[in-house]
Amino acid sequence: MSGAGASAERSADVELRGLHKRYGGVVAVESLDLRAEPGEFVSLLGPSGCGKTTTLRAIAGLTPPDGGLVIIGGRVMNDVPVHRRGLGLVPQNYALFPHMTVMENVTFGLRMRRTAPADVERKAREALGTVQLAGLEDRYPRQLSGGQQQRVALARCLVVGPTVLLLDEPLGALDKKLREAMQVELKSLQRQVGITTIFVTHDQEEALTMSDRGDASRAPPAVRDAPGDLRGPAEPIRGRVHRGVQLPGRAGGRAGRGGPPGPHERRGPRLHLRARGAQPG
């Protein structure tokens, strides 16, 4: 391997090699390769129920893979617990503590790490300033708009200094106007902080708007034809992803939240993830 190639290999903040996960007889993710470079905004785009959240949870350490490697910062993390991976996760529902104020929510991670009290307040106020929530420290989540709640969840992640930010459809619960505004704000914040970000979405336009890699003119067709009711068994994420672009082969399906399908749930069809310029199979 050349020196430049070796340097590229070392530079990835997150790398998946042959990731595989099944729930009983259902394969959720199959032989998935992914690289996210430092400071890159990478989207996992595909139909609901195809394994995007399972992939994100495997990176976070919440869902152990059945095969393959999860590598963060050059270190294999398969057996490393969640709290030692140095990641920040914003789930779709934000998971704010309703009985805590904005300040208490943001400082929760620091207090659990037994950070010095003076540093806790300083870092929390810096994080709240970064997400433009200064002055709302004493409010409770129920007193905030959806966009403000999302920014509290982001501040809570950023305040502990994660190396990678994982976002699981954080805009899904917002109305269209606010969703579009938050796309711009979230991307601007990510660039400002410079943190490597992996973003899960089923919205093609959202992924192309926010991702660093997603040149539609050079990528394969993002969505192929699929039956409207998507009859038939679910199929997993399969294939390779090189250096960030994730464009799906087919669309459809119902929301799946990183676990096996329920008794009445239809999962989406196969999602092929390819490198830019790759030809459909």
pLDDT at 236: 53
pLDDT at 19: 94
Residue 199 CB-half CA count within 13 A: 31
Q: Do 52 and 260 form a contact (C-beta atoms < 8 A)?
A: no
Rounded-to-integer distance, Cα 141 and Cα 111, Å: 19
**Below-50 pLDDT ranges, the chain:** 1-11, 214-235, 239-258, 261-281
CB contact burial 142-151 (16+ within 10 A = b; e otherwise): eebeebbbbb
pLDDT at 136: 95
Handedness of CA 156, 158, 164, 169 (dihedral sign): positive
Judged on CB neighbours under 10 Å (0-12, 13-18, 19+), 116 is exposed
pLDDT at 165: 92
Judged on CB neighbours under 10 Å (0-12, 13-18, 19+), 98 is exposed
pLDDT at 267: 39
Interval 155-188: pLDDT, tens: 999 899 899 999 998 887 777 887 888 888 888 8
